[in-house]
């Protein structure tokens, strides 16, 4: 049984609602940091997470590179300043090269990479070259489908038995396939995305709406075997970012398929997430933790969940039981990110959002900003500012 939304003291106190002026101020602050970072990164990209408050510069080889280009497109969308467009387009050339030469694309994160950097360009400028590049990325993602288990394999070689699994993050990668279906009118993309989506929903989401990070399958029979974590605290806890990927991935599935069954599943994972938010409405890195546990927060999970809830609110009917509570919590989370997590200390190479966790187990990016946190923070601000044209 999914949980009811049981939070107390979340009544409609009107001061909690953010005004357009407050959002504008936060966007202006973010743009100042982005301008500094454009000079700092030049032709390179930020590392996935900051080190001591500053991103190292890397080439286009990580699963996270699309987020920086996505930030540039968001900045261009908002300001219409050609400078942002020029650099974003330069980045896109690098993404063309990456997919043509198959550089570090032996994984499922093609959606994270290409929806934010290249589909975004196509949607903003209509550039046909961008469409072709993103379709190549969609084809590459399609090639990771395992017909026996009917899922897209997340990591590693397709023949590797130890990697015969899907992961919850993939809910954000399959919108690339839905977009490809839409622009090509070729159903092969949507068919794979649908099969994978059903498999994710039926395996990683537990009965109470909490989630596993990854789920293994039996190669011979194709049957689901067991849920395990990689980045979460334990196999039976809920990694906050994994839960947030579901809070956003389900509305993105709804965007393309308009399946009302998604409302219930969305409520399950979202209520579980919201019920575990600490006093400042931004989660610890795993939902097993709360105030007093002396663990780091993951601000990026908050930003991702805001985008997901905002997307689903567009579709939930007025009569939907949790709609009003979701709106209030959305504002509380966003205000907390702006007031307590947004970096106000301008410095070249610094993140927009501090206090994230990349990988607690490996000690990477713990209590540091990360580039997807920056991207989803800016996307969330844009969603508050206007009826944002969705890249995904």
**Contacting residues toward ligand GLY, per CB under 6 A:** 169, 231, 241
Sign of CA dihedral 179, 182, 188, 194: positive
Nearer to ligand GLY by Cβ, of 231 and 299: the residue is 231
Catalytic position from the list 109, 194, 286, 354: 109
Nearest to 227 by CA among 250, 206, 252: 206
| Residue pair 95/66 in contact by the 8 Å Cβ criterion | yes
CB of 172 to ligand GLY, least distance (A): 8
241 vs 253, which CB is nearer to ligand GLY? 241
Cβ 82 to ligand GLY shortest distance, Å: 32
Nearest approach, Cβ of 85 to ligand GLY (angstroms)?
27
> Is residue 291 flagged as an active site residue?
no
**Phi and psi at residue 364, to the nearest 5°:** -90, 130
- Tell me which residue of 273, 279, 274 sits closest to 340, measured CA to CA: 279
- Minimum CB separation of residue 113 from ligand GLY in Å reads 11
Do residues 163 and 154 lie in contact, with contact meaning Cβ atoms separated by under 8 Å? yes
Question: What is the DSSP secondary structure assignment for residue 148, as one 8-state letter?
Answer: T
Active site residue 157: no
Q: Give the other-Cβ count within 10 Å of 5's Cβ.
A: 17
Nearer to ligand GLY, 241 or 276 (CB): 241
Query: Shortest distance, CB of residue 241 to ligand GLY, whole angstroms?
Result: 5
Residue whose C-beta lies closest to ligand GLY = 169
Q: 59 — alpha (psi -120 to 50), left (phi > 0) or beta?
A: beta
Cβ nearer to ligand GLY, comparing 115 with 231: 231
State the catalytic residue, choosing from 169, 262, 286, 298. Answer: 169
Structure tokens at 196: 């994978």
Give least dist CB 29 to ligand GLY, A: 25
Measured from the CB atom, the residue of 331 and 369 that comes closer to ligand GLY is 369
**27 Cβ partners below 8 Å, 6+ apart?**
78, 378, 381, 382, 385
Closer Cβ to ligand GLY, 31 or 113, answer by number:
113
Kindly state the tokens that stand for 148: 């026996």
Q: Is 155 helix (H, G, I), strand (E, B) or coil?
A: strand
Cβ 60 vs Cβ 94: under 8 Å = yes
| Residues marked as catalytic | 109, 169
């Amino acid at each position: 049984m999914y949980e009811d939304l049981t939070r107390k003291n979340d009544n409609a106190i009107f001061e909690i609602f953010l005004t357009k002026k407050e959002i504008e101020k936060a966007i202006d602050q973010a743009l100042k940091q982005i301008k500094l970072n454009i000079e700092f990164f030049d032709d390179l990209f930020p590392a996935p997470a900051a080190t001591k408050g500053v991103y190292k510069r890397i080439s286009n080889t990580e699963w996270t590179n699309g987020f920086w280009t996505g930030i540039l497109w968001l900045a261009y969308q908002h300001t219409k300043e050609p400078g942002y467009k020029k650099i974003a387009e330069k980045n896109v050339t690098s993404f063309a090269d990456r997919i043509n030469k198959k550089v570090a694309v032996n994984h499922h994160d093609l959606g994270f990479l290409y929806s934010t950097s290249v589909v975004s360009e196509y949607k903003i400028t209509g550039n046909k070259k961008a469409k072709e590049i993103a379709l190549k990325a969609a084809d590459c993602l399609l090639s990771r489908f395992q017909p026996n288990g009917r899922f897209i394999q997340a990591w590693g070689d397709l023949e590797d038995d130890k990697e015969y699994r899907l992961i919850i993050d993939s809910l954000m990668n399959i919108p690339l396939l839905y977009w490809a279906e839409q622009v090509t009118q070729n159903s092969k993309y949507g068919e794979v995305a649908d099969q994978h989506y059903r498999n994710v929903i039926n395996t990683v989401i537990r009965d109470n709406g909490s989630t596993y990070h990854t789920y293994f399958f039996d190669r011979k029979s194709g049957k689901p075997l067991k849920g395990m974590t990689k980045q979460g605290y334990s196999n039976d806890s809920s990694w906050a970012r994994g839960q947030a990927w579901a809070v956003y991935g389900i509305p993105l599935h709804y965007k393309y398929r308009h399946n009302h069954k998604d409302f219930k599943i969305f409520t399950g994972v979202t209520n579980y997430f919201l019920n575990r938010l600490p006093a400042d409405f931004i989660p610890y890195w795993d939902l097993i933790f709360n105030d007093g546990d002396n663990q780091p927060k993951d601000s990026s999970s908050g930003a991702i969940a805001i985008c997901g809830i905002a997307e689903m609110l567009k579709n939930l009917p007025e009569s939907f039981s949790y709609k009003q509570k979701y709106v209030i919590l959305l504002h509380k989370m966003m205000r907390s990110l702006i007031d307590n997590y947004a970096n106000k200390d301008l410095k070249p190479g610094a993140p927009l959002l501090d206090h994230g966790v990349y990988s607690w187990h490996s000690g990477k990016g713990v209590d540091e900003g990360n580039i997807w946190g920056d991207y989803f923070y800016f996307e969330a601000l844009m969603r508050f500012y206007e009826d944002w044209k969705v890249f995904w």
